[in-house]
Structure 1
Amino acid sequence: MVETLWKFHDIDSKFIPLQNGINPIVQKVLFYKGITEAAEMEEFLSPKPKKTYNPFLMRNMEEASALILQYIREKKNIWIYGDYDVDGVASIALLMDFLSRFTDHLHYYIPLRAEEGYGLNCDAIQEIKNNGADLIITVDCGSTSVKEVALAKSLGMEIIITDHHNLSEEKPDCLILNPKQEDCPYPFKLLCGCGIAFKLAQALQKKLDAPKTCLNEILDLVALATVADVVPLIDENRTMLKYGLQRMTHTTRHGLNFLIQSIGLGGKKITAYHIGYILGPHFNASGRIDDARAGVELLLAKEPDKIVALTQHLIACNDERKLIQDQGLELCRERVEKEYQDDLFLVVDSGITHEGVIGIIAGRIRDIYYKPTLVVTEAAEEGILKGSGRSIEGLDIYEELKKCADLFLKFGGHKNACGFSIEKDKLNLLRQRLNLQAREIIENTPDIFRKSLKIYGIVTPPEITEKLVEDLERIEPYGMGNEKPLFLIPNLKAPAPSDLLFMGKSKEHIKLRGISGNKGTMDAIGFGLADFYINHLNNPAALDLLGFPCFNEWNGHKSIQFMISDMKRSSL
């Protein structure tokens, strides 16, 4: 087992606390995140942030919104075309919800993952035309769909693309709403697909002089997509997410509310964690295992019987997804242990594992071995494999695969994740070439295959007060671009046997009790760290704990606990 690197942020020499009433520990965290001015700090910590931008700053927004209004007034048929992941599902639901207030001539289309794959396809466009479409609005896809857009126009349809993915050199010949396109003056480039759909709704609301409540009521969908699509939780994303989480906690969306109740989140303040690890996977599972339309239908449904049936379906899909995923993960782990343990770049054949879960499995294998990982499965076409990849920090998996482009039938992605298809007999060659590339990388960056954790500061147990925990909560929601700050408690006396507990079905978790704090004692919890404590720390006299303080609420009792991310034998 490779030891995790702990890295201190080198800001102490530059950091001078401001006299603005904000806890200096919190100020230091914000300072490291690049938030150094008093006004910026107040905005970042505010429960009602104001950082948002005029939707008409986005290139083509004026023309696109005007065209949609024209089609609404002429009572023409508008079709929303989206992706089958959470971002696509939420984006379709958002525009269906918003536009249905102004037109009855509204429909949507989501491709099936296995049969059609991601994005626009020509067969779907022909089917949409056959169903009487006049205008297609894409959400979360379309930025590279040159031939598909040309087909739509040749069939007599208008098409507007709303998307957040990178564009290719050749752009589709239509109106495009994408802040990443060249010459787009929109100041924030990192919205998710649903965020861009929301900006379109904002523009239409202004043109229609509609009540702002019709925007407030769709912010729960923006929150769902923003977290699930793992875009940076900064700037305008942070603003929309904060309001969206408030909306989701008190949602009037019947289907979403019933799902929240059914999966044990009823009565709780919905957080980014709940979306990322509980709610989001239920919507994703439908697109992975079956048909993503079920997610859209649940978000739009109002009939009680339909809501119950759809909720049960999503829960069943998620249960099936977890079972398939666990089986595939076990198979991949066995193959890594037997065949590829010495590889730096893992390329693992998962047999006939459902392609809807291979990306999740690749992420889990990456986390277990901390190596860039590709997982492949058999495609419907004989002799063809479909694959998905996940990378480690500092290694751009898209660029590494790009060096092997001659081996792929198709590939795409970004620095953290990728997808591809390849002939089966070329897989071993791909594995060999990627491992050669990885060896070159490690020669220049020796620590790249060692996981590192960043230390935001040193604290002692007495410094961890309720006020500090409350102040740190103001930095939420945590996620990509706003990572949870980790603090070091150094040289903590190892617990007596009576204060050392092992928990969980397999006793895989650890609890250290009786740590003397500011008022009384607190516990420290380490999920999945029991084996590490027993086998690697070897009865230490003192410990260095790296983690994060938070509240634990149980049966009406509220206490502070320290959530351990990693621990080491103290060297002091």
Structure 2
Amino acid sequence: MIETYWEILDEQQEFRCVHEKIHPIIQKILIHKGITDPREMEEFLSPKPQKTYDPFLMKNMDRAVDVIIEHIRENKSIWIYGDYDVDGIASIAVLMDFLKPFTKNLHYYIPLRAEEGYGLNCEAIEDIKSRGADLIITVDCGSTSVREVQLAKELGMEIIVTDHHNLSDRVPDCLILNPKQEDCPYPFKLLCGCGVAFKLVQGIQKRLNAPKSCLNDLLDVVGLATVADVVPLIEENRTILKYGLKKINNCTRPGLKRLIEAVGLAGKNITAAHIGFILAPHFNASGRIDDARAGVELLLEEDPEKIEELVGHLVACNEERKSLQDKGLELCKEKVEQSYKDHLFFVIDSQGTHEGVIGIIAGKIRDLYYKPTLIVTESHEKGILKGSGRSIDGIDIYEEMKKCADLFIKFGGHKNACGFSMEKDKLDILRRRLNAQAREIKERAPETYVKTIKVYGELKPADITEKLLQELEKIEPYGMGNEKPQFLLSQLRIENSPEAVAMGKNQEHLRFKGLSCKFGDLTPIQAIGFGLAEFYIKHLGCPEKVDIVGFPRLNEWNGYKNMQFLICDIKQSFL
């Protein structure tokens, strides 16, 4: 396992209750998250949050709305141009769904991952023009597409960029809706691409005085994208997702409802975790393996026969994706162990692994070794590599890659992830430069390469009750920026014999019953650590007394309920 440091937050400040109606443990968590005002606490925990902002605070919103309405009224041809991931698919669906009652002259375009790559490309723009386009609205892309925007204008089209990715020093010469623009006064900068598209829809709805129900009907799709694109689940994103989850759990969108049934989620309370690990990968799979249009069509389709066909296609694509991903991951792990284990910034040639899965593999390698990771593979162009990267806390991968911009043909991304293309013979140069930059980071801040687990407090086994779990549910939805709070159970004496702690098909999971030696608490607690059996047995040597960090949960099986503690990390207790 990677090196971890437990940051015990309770040790850093004295706790003082600020709200008499909120559970003290919940207050502690919120205070550690920086939420100290009682009204802000109420907003954060509310099932009906109100934190959202006027769309017209976003730079260029007024003019963008006017241009779109003008094109609608003159029946001009409007094209939505999006990315092939869930955020792009959802963004297209949001604009298509909202605008279709106002115009029949509406179309969309998604580039093919392998042939065209991410973002705008000149060939696509020429193709769209040949089909009679008057206006292109980009979603989830376009912030760095200077040349492509110029071509669109030269061909006589207007173009509006809506995006959330970082902008470079040169920006396209067109209307841009992106809260990350330096002079954009919009208060919240961390919307996903679909979130920005939704703000545009809000602006059009206000200007046309359309019914608000047409906005509410889109919240399921915006919620889906908000989770899938791993933006921080705080502020306006949290508001969007809470209402989005309500819409998903009372699903009226025929295609999404059928997919929910097909993946075994019907009748369950769908959470952000279900979106992130089950629903979103099916939409992503169509863009990774085949054509992302299938995802858009499923979100817009109403015909049951077509929906059945589309759901079957997405499920098949996802199965193929998992197979390709597993093979690619094993290959990349072997390469790390053989050649790169001592590197601080992994740059791994995956030898032809399908480019649709290299981003997932980069994330998994990052998690296994806790180092920023780039995975590259061959593109359809001879001598050209395509790559995808994922980073660790403390290293802004976009800024580090930006220092190597001279090596890339195309490059874009943000703090945690990036995508790029480059000539194959420059790969070794990139590897050397990124590792040199990483060494400087480690010399300056060695703790960057130690994974920190924030521990929100210490519990006694007797604290872990259904009442506590009900209170913790109010902090959901969990995700980036609102991570599930981890708790400490210290000085647990393991009651099982060393031979009885492993479980699972391959005996890979850890399970034991423990009693606290610290508080004299005789309440037994059952603890589960997925994938931790080997670590406990071989690395720790089966200590009798342990400290564990994790999260409580209610385990239900065959009508029987019991409280469990899901282990995130485990260490030998020396007290």
User: What's the TM-score, normalizing by structure 2?
Assistant: 0.95
Pair 1:544-2:547 in alignment:
yes
CA distance in structure 2 between the aligned counterparts of 1:264 and 1:431, rounded to whole angstroms:
43
Pair 1:436-2:436 in alignment:
yes
The residue number in structure 2 matching 1:207 is 207
Please state how far the C-alpha of 1:51 moved relative to its aligned partner: 0.6
Output the amino acid matched with 1:368: L
Pair 1:226-2:229 in alignment:
no
Please state how far the C-alpha of 1:12 moved relative to its aligned partner: 4.7
Output the amino acid matched with 2:403: K
**Cα gap change, 1:81 to 1:423, in 2 (>3 Å):** closer
Pair 1:177-2:177 in alignment:
yes
The residue number in structure 1 matching 2:528 is 525
**Cα gap change, 1:499 to 1:528, in 2 (>3 Å):** same
Please state how far the C-alpha of 1:289 moved relative to its aligned partner: 1.0
Pair 1:505-2:508 in alignment:
no
The residue number in structure 2 matching 1:345 is 345
Q: How does 1:20-59 map to 2 (within 5 A)?
A: 20-59=20-59
CA distance in structure 1 between the aligned counterparts of 2:8 and 2:223, rounded to whole angstroms:
32
Superimposed CA distance per residue, residues 280-306 of structure 1 (whole angstroms, 9 cap, x where no aligned partner)? 111111111111000000011111111
The residue number in structure 2 matching 1:561 is 564
Superimposed CA distance per residue, residues 513-551 of structure 1 (whole angstroms, 9 cap, x where no aligned partner)? 366899975421111111111112212121111001122
**Cα gap change, 1:511 to 1:165, in 2 (>3 Å):** same
Superimposed CA distance per residue, residues 30-78 of structure 1 (whole angstroms, 9 cap, x where no aligned partner)? 0011100110000000010011111121122222222222222222221
Q: Identify the range of structure 1 (46-55 vs 411-420) with the bigger mean alpha-carbon deviation.
A: 411-420
Superimposed CA distance per residue, residues 165-186 of structure 1 (whole angstroms, 9 cap, x where no aligned partner)? 1223333222222112233221
Output the amino acid matched with 2:113: R
The residue number in structure 2 matching 1:262 is 262
The residue number in structure 2 matching 1:399 is 399
The residue number in structure 2 matching 1:414 is 414
Output the amino acid matched with 2:340: Y
The answer to whether the 8 A contact 1:515-1:523 is kept is: no
Output the amino acid matched with 2:136: I
CA distance in structure 1 between the aligned counterparts of 2:234 and 2:534, rounded to whole angstroms:
36
CA distance in structure 1 between the aligned counterparts of 2:145 and 2:398, rounded to whole angstroms:
20
CA distance in structure 2 between the aligned counterparts of 1:418 and 1:175, rounded to whole angstroms:
24
The answer to whether the 8 A contact 1:4-1:453 is kept is: yes
Pair 1:496-2:496 in alignment:
yes
Superimposed CA distance per residue, residues 187-215 of structure 1 (whole angstroms, 9 cap, x where no aligned partner)? 11111111111111112222222221111
CA distance in structure 2 between the aligned counterparts of 1:410 and 1:126, rounded to whole angstroms:
19
The CA RMSD measured in Å over matched residues stands at: 2.0
Match of 2:538 among 535, 539, 559: 535
Q: How does 1:4-23 map to 2 (within 5 A)?
A: 4-9=4-9, 12-23=12-23
Please state how far the C-alpha of 1:6 moved relative to its aligned partner: 1.1
CA distance in structure 1 between the aligned counterparts of 2:12 and 2:470, rounded to whole angstroms:
23
Please state how far the C-alpha of 1:251 moved relative to its aligned partner: 0.9
Output the amino acid matched with 2:21: G
Output the amino acid matched with 2:178: N
Please state how far the C-alpha of 1:323 moved relative to its aligned partner: 0.6
The answer to whether the 8 A contact 1:465-1:518 is kept is: no
The answer to whether the 8 A contact 1:459-1:489 is kept is: yes
The answer to whether the 8 A contact 1:20-1:38 is kept is: no
Q: Identify the range of structure 1 (150-159 vs 87-96) with the bigger mean alpha-carbon deviation.
A: 150-159
The answer to whether the 8 A contact 1:58-1:185 is kept is: yes
The answer to whether the 8 A contact 2:61-2:200 is kept is: yes
The answer to whether the 8 A contact 2:501-2:533 is kept is: no
The residue number in structure 2 matching 1:290 is 290
Q: Which ranges of structure 2 fall in alignment gaps of 5 or more residues?
A: none
Q: Identify the range of structure 1 (219-228 vs 513-522) with the bigger mean alpha-carbon deviation.
A: 513-522
CA distance in structure 1 between the aligned counterparts of 2:458 and 2:10, rounded to whole angstroms:
13
User: What's the TM-score, normalizing by structure 1?
Assistant: 0.96
**Cα gap change, 1:569 to 1:166, in 2 (>3 Å):** same
The residue number in structure 2 matching 1:310 is 310
Q: Which ranges of structure 1 fall in alignment gaps of 5 or more residues?
A: none
CA distance in structure 2 between the aligned counterparts of 1:150 and 1:430, rounded to whole angstroms:
30
Q: How does 1:445-456 map to 2 (within 5 A)?
A: 445-456=445-456
Q: Identify the range of structure 1 (148-157 vs 120-129) with the bigger mean alpha-carbon deviation.
A: 148-157
CA distance in structure 2 between the aligned counterparts of 1:404 and 1:71, rounded to whole angstroms:
41
The answer to whether the 8 A contact 2:515-2:521 is kept is: no
**Cα gap change, 1:291 to 1:385, in 2 (>3 Å):** same
The answer to whether the 8 A contact 1:398-1:417 is kept is: yes
Superimposed CA distance per residue, residues 204-239 of structure 1 (whole angstroms, 9 cap, x where no aligned partner)? 222222221111111000100000011110001000
SS in 1 for 2:448: coil
Please state how far the C-alpha of 1:122 moved relative to its aligned partner: 1.6
CA distance in structure 2 between the aligned counterparts of 1:289 and 1:198, rounded to whole angstroms:
27
CA distance in structure 1 between the aligned counterparts of 2:95 and 2:384, rounded to whole angstroms:
37
Please state how far the C-alpha of 1:104 moved relative to its aligned partner: 1.7
The answer to whether the 8 A contact 2:462-2:523 is kept is: no
Please state how far the C-alpha of 1:241 moved relative to its aligned partner: 0.3
Q: Identify the range of structure 1 (445-454 vs 52-61) with the bigger mean alpha-carbon deviation.
A: 445-454
CA distance in structure 2 between the aligned counterparts of 1:18 and 1:121, rounded to whole angstroms:
54
The answer to whether the 8 A contact 1:80-1:92 is kept is: yes
SS in 2 for 1:553: strand
CA distance in structure 2 between the aligned counterparts of 1:545 and 1:522, rounded to whole angstroms:
12
The answer to whether the 8 A contact 2:82-2:91 is kept is: yes
The answer to whether the 8 A contact 2:461-2:523 is kept is: no
SS in 1 for 2:236: helix
Please state how far the C-alpha of 1:22 moved relative to its aligned partner: 0.7
**Cα gap change, 1:59 to 1:401, in 2 (>3 Å):** closer
Q: Identify the range of structure 1 (544-553 vs 284-293) with the bigger mean alpha-carbon deviation.
A: 544-553
Please state how far the C-alpha of 1:498 moved relative to its aligned partner: 9.2
CA distance in structure 2 between the aligned counterparts of 1:421 and 1:152, rounded to whole angstroms:
23
**Cα gap change, 1:359 to 1:385, in 2 (>3 Å):** same
State the identity %: 67
The residue number in structure 2 matching 1:105 is 105
Q: Identify the range of structure 1 (351-360 vs 149-158) with the bigger mean alpha-carbon deviation.
A: 149-158
Aligned residues: 572
The residue number in structure 1 matching 2:385 is 385
The residue number in structure 2 matching 1:93 is 93
Superimposed CA distance per residue, residues 430-485 of structure 1 (whole angstroms, 9 cap, x where no aligned partner)? 32333333333222222322222111111111011211111111111111111111
